Amino acid sequence: MFSPKSRFETIHGMEVHFSEWGNPTNPTIVCWHGLTRNGRDFDKISSCLEKDYHVICPDTIGRGWSQWSSFPEKDYCFEVYSSLAIGLLDRLEIEQVRWIGTSMGGAIGMRIAGTAEWQKRITYLVLNDIGAGALENSPQNIEGIKRIISYVAAPPQFKTVSELITYYQTIYATFGLSNEQEWIDFTQYSCRRKDGGGVGPDYDPNIALQFQHLEDLNLWNYWNAIQARVLLMRGEISDVLPIEVAEKMREKPNCELVTIPKIGHAPALNTGEQISIIEEFFVS
């Protein structure tokens, strides 16, 4: 597996970091990560896709190596993230992309693909364990959000990276990482030494303020406007994407639903089977 290039661009006054794979003359795939994660989560799938595609994996502001906001109450929301994504594509002179979005990254993709002025920018949309919003009598969706909120706002610090690995193995147990090296990579690309020498997750705790933007939790209007082909991937035991929501979304003619067995929120896109599903979707 080749290492990606690391690049920085200033978009709307905010410095955005992204990893870049493959030949820029090839069709582009954007891989956008989940709430507390960063673009290096896509190393495995990007290393497979780069032979045929140009792959970019941004760090959302407040995560990874992208800038932290000075106005977190305003900036940490889907409206700003979507605008930054479009700004990055414009800066790179990329007109159309295939989009892979895990959790929050999928929600950002939905918002872009469902906005009239942007919807033609995304031709294929992979939603990795994220729905368009809650349905009535869907407590699983609420419980999943509560679980995430419980750890986002107060990221812990540990003396050693080994302790952080153990913590990640607990809160991300259902991702489907299968061996020690995967957990080491997962941790080393998403941790930083803090003041005093401790080590912890590499995101701004203020990203939790996103949950004040209640409109971010209801994307049905965007969903109904999407024209791109959609692959909805759901972890079989997900507590964020209830089966009722997934089935409702599958009613849309351009949406295909695939369930990943024995996985929760969210599939790590780290196995040959999961990667092949996406590769085949992009050429269908």
Per-residue pLDDT of 36-66, as tens digits, reads 999 999 999 999 999 999 999 999 999 999 9
Which tens digit of pLDDT belongs to each residue from 222-259?
Answer: 999 999 999 999 999 998 999 999 999 999 999 999 99
Which tens digit of pLDDT belongs to each residue from 105-128?
Answer: 999 999 999 999 999 999 999 999
pLDDT at 151 over 80: yes
Q: What is the per-residue pLDDT for 14?
A: 98
pTM: 0.95
Q: Which two tokens stand for residue 263?
A: 């996985």
Q: Which of 158, 97, 81, 130 is nearest to 232 (CA)?
A: 130
CA distances to 47, 138, 192 from 244, in Å = 34, 8, 39
Binned at pLDDT 50, 70 and 90, residue 178 comes out as: confident
Domain boundaries, the chain: 5-155+203-282
Looking up tokens 């956008």, which residue turns up?
32
Residue 11: other Cβ atoms inside 10 A:
20
Longest Cα separation, the chain: 54
Which tens digit of pLDDT belongs to each residue from 88-99?
Answer: 999 999 999 999
What is the CATH number assigned to the segment(s) 5-155+203-282?
A: 3.40.50.1820
